[in-house]
C-alpha cells in the first residue's frame, strides 16, 4: 500500500487539494505566503507535544500534504528550515521556555530561520567549525563566518553551531545557539552569486553578535549532539516532496527527448529508463527510512548520495536531449544578474552543486565506510 492510500488519508488529501486550489498564489511574497499557511494551520503538522503546532496529522497525512503541495506548484517555502529542522530539534532538546518562545511564531509563519553550520574551512567537516561564542554576563558574543547559508537574507533568526570552550577541538566544546539576525553592524549577510545568475546561498559574518544565555539549546558544550540530531531530521518527510519535484523534472526531460527525436537513440532511452527506475528506488528507500530505518547508521548519507548523483545526471540528460539548442538561452545574454535561463539550463547548472552542498559525496562515503562498514577512520589533519 502506498503512503496516504487509507480512506482517512484520502479524505485528508482531498482537503489539501481543495485548500491549495483556492489559496495558491504562484507569485506571492514568500513571507506573506508563510503567514497564509500558518493562519490556515498547515505549518507544524504532527507537532503533538505541547500543542505548539497547528493541525494534528499522522505521518502518512504529513506525507500526503508534502506531496500534494509539491504537485500543486505552490510557491517555494521560506519557512521550511524553521519548521522541519529547528522545530523538531527544539521538541527533542529544547527547554520548555525555548519551545514556548520559538515554536508558536514558526507555526504562525511569523519568524523565519536559517542554518549556521558550514564555514569556509569547515564545510562538510562540521566538527572543524571555528566560529567562537565568548561568554558574557547576559549571554554570548559570537564572532566568525558561516557560508552557503540558505535564506539568510530573509531570516529573522539563525541557529549557529559555535565553539564556546576556548582551545577545544573537533566535536568537543561546541554549543547550539539561537542568534537574532537583526543586529546592524554585528551581523552582515552577503549573497553568493551562482552559475545560474541567482543567489540562493549567502555568506554570514558575525562580528560580536549577541546571543542570550537562555537561547543555548541542549546546554553549553552539548552542541555536537544537538547538531547531529538536527541532521537526522533533515532527511524526513520533505524528502518525499522533493522526489515529486524530481518526477516533474524527469517528465519534462522525457517530453523534450520525444519532441527532439533524442528518444529514438537507444542509449538515451536506456538512460531515461534508468533515471525513472532509480527515482522509484529512492522513493521506496525514503518510505523505509520513515518507517524507522532512519536511525540506522549511515542512512542519511545513503539518501544524500542517491538523490545528489541522480539529480546531477538528470541535469546532464536535460541538455543532452536538447542538442545544440541547449546552448541558446530564451533571451539575449546579459552580464546582469540574474540572466535568463530556461528550465533545462537552470537544472543543469544548479545541479552541479548537488554532490557538494549538504555534505559532499566524499564525506558521505567516508561516513558510510567508518560507521557502517567499520573501516579504519580517516586521519584528520592537525589544526593550526
pLDDT digits 0-9 by tens, 301-335: 888 888 889 999 999 999 999 988 888 777 776 66
Position with higher pLDDT, 58 vs 351? 351
Whether 27 shows a pLDDT value over 60: the answer reads: no
Whether 177 shows a pLDDT value over 60: the answer reads: yes
Q: Which residue has the cell 566544546?
A: 173
For the residues 26-54, what does the mean pLDDT come to? Answer: 78
Check: CB of residue 66 under 8 Å from CB of residue 58: no
Of 34, 68, 83, 234, the active-site residue reads: 234
Lowest-confidence pick of 3-17, 155-169, 364-378: 3-17
Q: What confidence score (pLDDT) does residue 63 get?
A: 80
Lowest-confidence pick of 30-44, 135-149, 219-233, 331-345: 331-345
What does the mean pLDDT of the chain come to? 82
Q: What confidence score (pLDDT) does residue 123 get?
A: 60
For the residues 186-198, what does the mean pLDDT come to? Answer: 85
What would the 3-class secondary structure string for the chain be?
CCCCCCHHHHHHHHHHHHHHHHHCCCCCCHHHHHHHHHHCCCCCCCCCHHHCCCCCCCHHHHHHHHHHHHHCCCCCCCCHHHHHHHHHHHHHHCCHHHHHHHHHHHHCCCCCEEEECCECCECCCHHHCCCEEEEECCEEEEEEEECCCCCCCCCCEEEEEEECCCCCCCCCCEEEEEEECCCCCCEEEEEECCCCCCCCEEEEEEEEEEEEHHHEECCCCCHHHHHHHHHHHCCCCHHHHHHHHHHHHHHHHHHHHHHHCHHHCHHHHHHHHHHHHHHHHHHHHHHHHHCCHHHCCCHHHHHHHHHHHHHHHHHHHHHHCCHHHHHCCCCCCCCCCCCCCCHHHHHHHHHHHCCCCCCCHHHHHHHHHHHCCCCCCCCCCCCC
Q: What confidence score (pLDDT) does residue 214 get?
A: 92
Q: What confidence score (pLDDT) does residue 25 get?
A: 66
Q: Rounded to an integer, what distance in angstroms lies between the CA atom of residue 344 and that of residue 318?
A: 5
Whether 270 shows a pLDDT value over 60: the answer reads: yes
CA distances from 101 to 90, 95, 222, 381 (A): 11, 10, 21, 41
Helix or strand holding residue 300 (H, E): helix 299-320
* Half-sphere CA count of 149, side-chain side, radius 13 A: 29
Whether 113 shows a pLDDT value over 90: the answer reads: yes
**For 222-251, how does the pLDDT look when each residue is reduced to its tens digit (9 = 90+)?**
888 888 777 766 655 567 777 888 888 899
Q: What confidence score (pLDDT) does residue 279 get?
A: 93
234 is catalytic: yes
Lowest-confidence pick of 50-59, 72-81, 282-291: 50-59
Check: CB of residue 149 under 8 Å from CB of residue 157: no
Lowest-confidence pick of 192-201, 289-298, 344-353: 289-298
Whether 102 shows a pLDDT value over 70: the answer reads: yes
Q: What confidence score (pLDDT) does residue 1 get?
A: 38
For the residues 184-197, what does the mean pLDDT come to? Answer: 87
Percent of the chain with pLDDT over 70: 83
Helix axes 299-320, 343-350, angle to 10 degrees: 140
**For 82-94, how does the pLDDT look when each residue is reduced to its tens digit (9 = 90+)?**
988 898 899 889 8
For the residues 96-106, what does the mean pLDDT come to? Answer: 92
Amino acid at each position: 500500500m502506498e503512503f496516504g492510500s487509507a480512506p482517512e488519508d484520502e479524505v485528508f488529501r482531498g482537503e489539501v487539494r481543495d485548500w491549495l486550489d483556492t489559496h495558491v498564489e504562484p507569485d506571492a511574497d514568500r513571507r506573506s505566503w508563510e503567514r497564509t499557511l500558518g493562519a490556515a494551520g498547515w505549518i507544524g503538522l504532527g507537532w503533538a507535544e505541547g500543542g505548539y503546532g497547528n493541525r494534528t496529522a499522522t505521518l502518512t497525512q504529513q506525507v500526503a500534504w508534502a506531496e500534494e503541495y509539491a504537485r500543486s506548484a505552490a510557491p517555494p517555502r521560506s519557512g521550511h528550515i524553521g519548521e522541519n529542522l529547528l522545530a523538531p530539534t527544539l521538541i527533542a532538546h529544547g527547554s520548555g521556555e525555548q519551545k514556548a518562545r520559538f515554536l508558536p511564531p514558526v507555526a504562525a509563519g511569523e519568524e523565519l530561520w536559517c542554518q549556521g553550520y558550514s564555514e569556509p574551512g569547515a564545510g562538510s567537516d562540521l566538527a572543524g567549525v571555528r566560529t567562537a561564542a565568548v561568554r558574557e554576563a547576559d549571554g554570548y558574543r559570537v564572532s566568525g563566518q558561516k557560508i552557503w547559508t540558505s535564506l539568510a537574507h530573509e531570516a529573522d533568526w539563525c541557529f549557529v553551531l559555535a565553539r564556546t570552550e576556548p582551545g577545544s577541538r573537533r566535536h568537543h566544546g561546541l554549543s547550539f545557539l539561537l542568534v537574532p539576525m537583526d543586529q546592524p553592524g554585528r551581523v552582515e549577510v552577503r549573497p553568493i552569486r551562482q552559475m545560474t545568475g541567482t543567489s540562493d546561498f549567502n555568506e554570514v559574518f558575525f562580528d560580536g553578535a549577541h546571543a542570550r544565555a537562555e537561547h543555548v539549546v541542549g546546554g553549553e558544550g552539548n552542541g555536537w549532539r544537538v547538531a547531529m540530531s538536527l541532521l537526522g531530521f533533515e532527511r524526513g518527510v520533505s524528502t518525499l516532496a522533493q522526489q515529486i519535484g524530481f518526477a516533474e523534472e524527469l517528465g519534462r526531460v522525457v517530453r523534450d527527448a520525444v519532441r527532439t527525436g533524442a528518444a529514438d537513440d537507444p542509449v538515451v532511452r536506456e538512460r531515461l529508463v534508468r533515471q525513472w527506475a532509480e527515482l522509484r528506488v529512492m522513493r521506496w528507500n525514503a518510505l523505509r527510512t520513515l518507517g524507522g530505518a532512519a536511525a540506522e547508521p549511515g542512512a542519511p548519507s545513503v539518501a544524500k548520495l542517491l538523490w545528489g548523483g541522480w539529480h546531477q545526471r538528470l541535469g546532464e540528460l536535460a541538455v543532452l536531449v536538447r542538442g545544440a539548442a541547449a546552448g541558446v538561452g530564451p533571451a539575449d545574454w546579459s552580464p546582469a544578474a540574474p540572466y535568463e535561463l530556461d528550465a533545462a539550463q537552470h537544472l543543469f547548472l544548479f545541479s552541479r552543486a548537488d554532490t557538494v552542498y549538504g555534505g559532499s559525496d566524499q564525506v558521505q562515503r567516508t561516513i558510510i565506510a567508518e560507521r557502517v562498514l567499520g573501516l579504519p577512520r580517516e586521519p584528520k589533519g592537525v589544526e593550526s
